[in-house]
């Protein structure tokens, strides 16, 4: 069965189909949601190692003498503080302070920044950055040049180390190295979206299939499993990592999303700064909070949340947590209810069901 | 191929007739679409159900789905084992993963449900 022609496919599409993956339309991409089962894949990542095709993610390069100026101006985090080979999480905002996207910024050189952006936002991000470009900088849409494969879990390093001469122990968390893996040029980033240790490899799309197979072989002794978007979602939720279209979107600011740590108001002007300053001065009205269900049920995306019997917010993501054995979720609440330990009700199929706000992240790996 | 002797609904439930009783569950296709099942909401014994009435739900990691009674009748038994082991619906959808037993109010209704080969065609056309 071939992908519907309206959907975009990654270079690994036929690999997923050969593995018998269940494929879904994910923001216009034909992607594997699961192979053997979400819980099994989730547990493989927490206890051993999993491999994810994340080639749908977009890549944008900002180059030129004023690359740093443009990158700093369109993002919330302090680009000037990045060292060569370092990565940070950041936000691309509209003037009104809402998210265009959440991104990773890699400093490749003083005049070269590499942005990893969300699949369904990549064209919008590119246009947004181009529209803000009043610097001597070039914005390059580079998604077609990269396949991206994530290897995540406590045995991820052991797996990838078998395939590269680069000393992975020397790459700190949220740093990267440009080197070789599987005998071809690869950008090896110590990043991930699972709350587990792991690496993300950026390689040429035409090599993706071979690289995937070599990783599978290298990881066999550790019990590597291919993992789909279903497990990726439960893993990132446990680690309280935001998903665009759920925790964040154009109507949500990073302050509301509990992402104040990626906003550097003192770094100088950037798109969205004035709106965030005003929001901070006026005081936040709502904030993202974690919750656990107290009674039977799973609060899922879009469900209404009640505080003291009245509608007060909504669930952004909710799922059983395979690691914790509880039903967890994230929701927006009025700030006065957003602290841990507050009783709330999630309206599940017209029934208010008891839940309680909790500390996040839900899961933190042992160092 | 799905089991021959069962009858099927468009909502992917099956029913197996045993005298004036019917055993109801969800199909292999349904469990596969849902993925890992974490909870089955069971009806109450004694509940009277109309044909196509929602009598519970099956919840997986990624979704929750209503389940509908293939025929009208009274619930005479429920599979309480599913409370502790909802994954049985994934593992044995036509066996240990059965959900409820009904006393049929109108056995004629069974005749209107899909046969195995009709259901096979239906699932084939849908996917």
CATH code, A214: 3.30.1360.120
pLDDT at B125: 77
Residue A38 in contact with partner chain B when CB distance is under 8 A = yes
Residue A180 sits in the same domain as residue A327: no
> Model-level pTM greater than 0.90?
yes
Across the strands, what pairs with A115?
A60, A105
Q: Do B59 and A298 touch (CB under 8 A)?
A: yes
CATH code, A299: 2.40.30.110
Residue B38 in contact with partner chain A when CB distance is under 8 A = yes
Confirm if A221 and A165 have CB atoms less than 8 A apart: no
Q: What is the DSSP string of A43-80?
A: HHHHHS-EEEE-TTSEEEEEESTTHHHHHHHHBSS-GG
Confirm if A326 and A292 have CB atoms less than 8 A apart: yes
Domain limits, chain B: 7-120
**Average pLDDT over every residue of B54-75:** 95
Q: Do B61 and A234 touch (CB under 8 A)?
A: yes
Report angle CA A21, A37, B55 to the nearest 5 degrees: 110
Residue A119 sits in the same domain as residue A201: no
Over its C-alpha atoms, chain A yields an Rg (Å, rounded) of 20
pLDDT tens digit sequence for A274-292: 999 999 999 999 999 999 9
Residue A213 sits in the same domain as residue A350: no
Residue A229 sits in the same domain as residue A332: no
Report the residue of A26, A227, A230 to disrupt the B interface, i.e. the one with the largest count of B CBs within 10 Å: A230
d(C-alpha A254, C-alpha A93), whole Å: 9
Residue A90 lies in a domain: yes
Residue A104 lies in a domain: yes
pLDDT at A270: 98
Q: Do A37 and B32 touch (CB under 8 A)?
A: no
Residue A147, helix vs strand vs coil: strand
Last residue of a domain, one of A129, A144, A159: A144
d(C-alpha A253, C-alpha A249), whole Å: 8
Higher pLDDT, B1 or A309: A309
The ipTM, to two decimals, is: 0.82
Question: Considering Cα of A279, then A284, then A290, then A296, what sign does the dihedral take?
Answer: negative
Residue of B nearest to A2 (CA): B127
Residue A341 lies in a domain: yes
Residue A308 lies in a domain: yes
| B38 contacts on A by Cβ (under 8 Å) | 298, 320
Contacts by A18-26 with C-beta closer than 8 Å and gap 24+? A19/A226, A21/A226, A21/A228, A22/A228, A22/B32, A22/B33, A22/B35, A24/A229, A26/A56, A26/A119, A26/A229
* CB proximity list for A11: less than 8 A, separation 6 or greater: A55, A147, A205, A206, A208, A209
Q: What is the DSSP letter of A191?
A: -
Specify the DSSP element, H or E, that contains A124: helix A122-131
Q: Do A34 and B64 touch (CB under 8 A)?
A: no
Residue A270 lies in a domain: no
Q: Do A300 and B64 touch (CB under 8 A)?
A: yes
Residue A40 sits in the same domain as residue A160: yes
**3 state SS for B44-98:** CCCCEECCCCEEEEEEECCCEEEEECCCCEEEEEECCHHHHCCCHHHHCCCCCCC
Residue A194 sits in the same domain as residue A206: yes
Last residue of a domain, one of A144, A169, A195: A144
| B32 contacts on A by Cβ (under 8 Å) | 22
Residue of A nearest to B124 (CA): A1
Residue A38 sits in the same domain as residue A65: no
CATH code, A79: 3.30.70.1400
Q: Do B62 and A230 touch (CB under 8 A)?
A: yes
Residues B7-120, CATH architecture = Beta Barrel (2.40)
Give residue A188's domain range.
Answer: 13-55+146-238
* CB proximity list for A186: less than 8 A, separation 6 or greater: A164, A178, A179, A180, A201, A202, A203, A211
Last residue of a domain, one of A238, A273, A305: A238
Query: CA end-to-end span of chain A, whole Å?
Result: 43
How many beta-carbon pairs under 8 angstroms link A with B? 34
Q: Which residue from A14, A51, A79, A363 is spatially nearest to A228, judged by alpha carbons?
A: A51
d(C-alpha B109, C-alpha A100), whole Å: 54
Residue A44 sits in the same domain as residue A157: yes
pLDDT at A222: 98
Residue A36 lies in a domain: yes
| B36 contacts on A by Cβ (under 8 Å) | 37-40
Residue A49 sits in the same domain as residue A188: yes
d(C-alpha B101, C-alpha B96), whole Å: 13
Low-confidence ranges of chain A (pLDDT < 70): 1-5
Residue A75 in contact with partner chain B when CB distance is under 8 A = no
How many structural domains comprise chain A? 3
The residue with tokens 């799309």 is: A205
Using alpha carbons, list the distances in angstroms from residue B79 to A246, B9, B14, B59, B88.
36, 20, 15, 16, 10
Q: Do B64 and A349 touch (CB under 8 A)?
A: yes
Residue A40, helix vs strand vs coil: helix
Residue B39 in contact with partner chain A when CB distance is under 8 A = yes
Residue A317 in contact with partner chain B when CB distance is under 8 A = no
Q: What is the DSSP string of A265-306?
A: GGG---TTHHHHHHHHHH--SEEEEEEEESSS----TT-EEE
Residue A44 sits in the same domain as residue A184: yes
| B35 contacts on A by Cβ (under 8 Å) | 22, 33-34, 37-38, 230
Which of B35, B59, B90 has its CB closest to that of A34?
B35
pLDDT at A1: 45
Residue A162 sits in the same domain as residue A102: no
Strand A138-141, strand A50-53: pairing: unpaired
Residue A321 in contact with partner chain B when CB distance is under 8 A = no
Q: State the helix-helix crossing angle for A67-74 and A122-131, rounded to 10 degrees.
A: 110
Residue A161 lies in a domain: yes
Residue A143, helix vs strand vs coil: helix
Residue A65 sits in the same domain as residue A122: yes
Q: Do B39 and A296 touch (CB under 8 A)?
A: yes
d(C-alpha A178, C-alpha A150), whole Å: 16
Using alpha carbons, list the distances in angstroms from residue B70 to B6, B13, B64.
11, 7, 19
Confirm if A137 and A112 have CB atoms less than 8 A apart: no
Mean confidence (pLDDT) of chain B:
95
pLDDT tens digit sequence for B32-51: 999 999 999 999 999 999 99
* CB proximity list for A260: less than 8 A, separation 6 or greater: A254
d(C-alpha B68, C-alpha B74), whole Å: 14
């Amino acid at each position: 069965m071939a992908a519907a022609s309206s959907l975009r496919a990654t270079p690994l599409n036929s690999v997923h189909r050969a593995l018998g993956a269940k494929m879904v339309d994910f923001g216009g991409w034909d992607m594997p949601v699961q192979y053997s089962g979400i819980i099994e894949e989730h547990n493989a990542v927490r206890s051993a190692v999993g491999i994810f095709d994340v080639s749908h993610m977009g890549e944008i390069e900002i180059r030129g003498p004023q690359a740093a100026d443009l990158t700093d101006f369109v993002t919330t985090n302090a680009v000037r503080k990045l060292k060569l080979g370092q990565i940070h999480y950041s936000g691309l905002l509209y003037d009104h302070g809402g998210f265009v996207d959440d991104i990773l910024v890699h400093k490749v050189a003083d005049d070269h920044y590499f942005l990893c952006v969300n699949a369904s936002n990549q064209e919008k991000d590119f246009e947004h950055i181009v529209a803000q470009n009043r610097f001597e900088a070039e914005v390059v849409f580079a998604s077609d040049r990269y396949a991206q494969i994530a290897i995540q879990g406590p045995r991820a390093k052991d797996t990838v180390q078998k395939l590269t001469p680069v000393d992975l122990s020397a790459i700190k968390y949220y740093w990267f190295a440009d080197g070789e893996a599987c005998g071809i040029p690869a950008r090896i980033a110590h990043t991930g979206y699972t709350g587990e240790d792991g690496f993300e490899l950026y390689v040429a799309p035409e090599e993706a299939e071979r690289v995937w197979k070599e990783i599978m072989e290298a990881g066999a002794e550790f019990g590597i499993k291919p993992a789909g978007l279903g497990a990726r979602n439960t893993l990132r939720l446990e680690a309280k990592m935001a998903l665009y279209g759920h925790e964040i979107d154009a109507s949500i600011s990073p302050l509301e999303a509990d992402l104040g740590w990626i906003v550097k108001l003192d770094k100088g002007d950037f798109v969205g700064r004035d709106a965030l300053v005003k929001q901070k001065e006026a005081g936040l009205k709502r904030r993202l909070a974690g919750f656990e269900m107290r009674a039977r049920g799973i609060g899922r995306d879009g469900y209404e949340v009640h505080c003291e019997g009245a509608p007060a917010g909504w669930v952004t993501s909710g799922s059983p947590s395979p690691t914790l054995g509880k039903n967890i979720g994230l929701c927006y609440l009025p700030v006065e209810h957003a602290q841990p330990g507050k009783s709330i009700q999630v309206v599940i199929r017209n029934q208010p069901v008891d839940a309680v706000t909790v500390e996040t992240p839900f899961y933190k790996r042992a160092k | 191929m799905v089991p021959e002797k069962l009858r099927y609904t468009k909502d992917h439930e099956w029913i197996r007739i045993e005298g004036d009783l019917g055993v109801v569950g969800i199909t292999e296709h349904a469990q596969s679409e849902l993925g890992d099942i974490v909870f089955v909401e069971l009806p109450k014994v004694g509940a009277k159900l109309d044909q196509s009435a929602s009598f519970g739900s099956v919840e997986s990691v990624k979704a929750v789905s209503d389940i509908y009674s293939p025929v009208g009748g009274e619930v005479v038994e429920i599979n309480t084992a599913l409370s502790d082991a909802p994954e049985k619906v994934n593992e044995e959808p036509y066996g240990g993963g059965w959900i409820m037993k009904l006393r049929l109010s109108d056995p004629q209704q069974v005749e209107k449900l899909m046969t195995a080969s009709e259901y096979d065609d239906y699932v084939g056309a849908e996917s």
